[in-house]
Amino acid sequence: MLSSAILFPAVLNGLMTGAVYALVALGLTLIYGVLHIINFAHGALLTAALFAVFLAHRWLGLDPYIAIVVLTPLFFGIGYALQRFVIGPAAHGEDRNILLVTLGLAVIIENVLLYLFRADTRTIDLPYAFDVIEIGNAVLAVPRVVACAGVALVTLALWVVMRTTRTGKAIRAVAKEKLGAELSGIDVAHIYAVTFGLGTACLAIAACLLLPTYYVNPSAGNAFVLIAFTIVVLGGMGSLAGALIGGLFIGVVESLSGLFLGESLGQIGIFVMFILVLLFRPSGLFGERA
């Protein structure tokens, strides 16, 4: 069983699944790092994004990879508006209110989707979905390789934005010291909304990269968000590098435990990791000690 003929492709598959997990986790950790809230609506927003990709393909004939160009700004806008006009005002400056508001949003989004699309599992068929690339003895599906490359690009772009632009600097300033940032003339409400928008835009890209090899139904996003929470804790709350490395790591863990324990039990490995991290390194790999 432990031959390299299986292990090597399984690890590669895991890395590729992990890359998408990382992108979902990136959005989550970004929002946590700046707003200091856990966004429970993250999964529902991912589901909404998956449906958007599906409909763009069904109605407009848009290829999911081309849809990135349209859906990323759209979801940035949705995220911005949600924080600016719904979550922000409804929270009245209290963190626990924000928790409840995002949880409520998740319930609303999921049920609206369930009402509109019913419980059906939908997929899209693309001519290249089953094309392959061979690396050594591993045969890799093209859409997964594209997804992996896409995630690398997005992470790089996000890093550049955070390091070099004025908005990036402002986001980092707000994350570090909200009051200080406000005193230096930074519009905190605006920066909060921008961050929320960036997190949501990550989901739109993740959805576009996912759908060629995945399915969508009104609870599809939840599977990713539980994993994304694990990744954020593993990588360290609010750490972008942690989310990336944690995501890849969890992808490999899932792939290998699926291989050894069977597909039905594959996700056990992830949650064992979660418990181990909480027990032995609660601040995560790259997290600052509380």
Partner 1 sequence: MPNDKTNDMLRAVSRRRFLQTSALGAAAGATVIAAPSVLRAQGAAVKIGVLHPVSGAVSYSGQQGRLGALAAIEEINAAGGIKALGGAKIDAMLGDAQSTPEGGNAEVEKMNSAGVSAIVGGYASSICLSASQAAARYDLPYIVDVGVVDSVVTRGLKNTFRFGPGFGVIAKTALDNLVTINEQAGKPAKTVMIVHEDSAFGAGLAKLLNAQLPERGFQVLETISHPTPTRDFNNVALKIKAQNPDIVIPANYYNEYVLLARTMQQQRIRPKGIYSVLGGASSSYKFVKDFPEAAQYIMDCNHWFDPKNPKALALKKQIEAKGQFFTYEVFMNYSCVLLLADAIERARSADRAKIIEAMASSTFSGHVMPYGPTKFVNGQNQGAMPVNTQVLDKDIQVILPATFASAKAVFPMPRA
Q: Which residues bind partner 1 (CB under 8 A)?
A: 1, 3, 5-6, 9-10, 13, 17, 118-121, 123, 130, 132, 139, 141, 213-215, 255, 258-259, 262-264, 266
**Is residue 44 within 8 Å of residue 221, measured between CB atoms?**
yes
Q: Closer to partner 1 by CB, 34 or 207: give it.
A: 207
Which is closer to partner 1, CB of 180 or CB of 262? 262
DSSP state letter for 134: E
Spatial distance between the Cα atoms of 127 and 123, rounded to a whole number of angstroms: 13
CA distance 265 to 250: 15
Using alpha carbons, list the distances in angstroms from residue 74 to 46, 71, 83, 254: 13, 5, 14, 32
Query: Residue 63 to residues 45, 102, 211, 237: CA-CA distances in angstroms?
Result: 20, 31, 10, 34
Q: Return the structure tokens found at 177.
A: 């010291």
Rounded least distance, CB 121 to partner 1, Å: 6
Question: Which CB sits closer to partner 1, 119 or 290?
Answer: 119
CB of 120 to partner 1, least distance (A): 5
Q: How far apart are the first and last CA of the chain?
A: 43
Cβ closest to partner 1, residue 118 vs residue 289: 118
Q: How far is the CB of 33 from partner 1 (least distance, A)?
A: 31
Task: Pick the closer one to partner 1 by CB: 80 or 214.
Answer: 214
Shortest Å distance, C-beta 217 to partner 1: 8
Length of the chain: 290
- In whole angstroms, the minimum distance from the beta carbon of 123 to partner 1 comes to 8
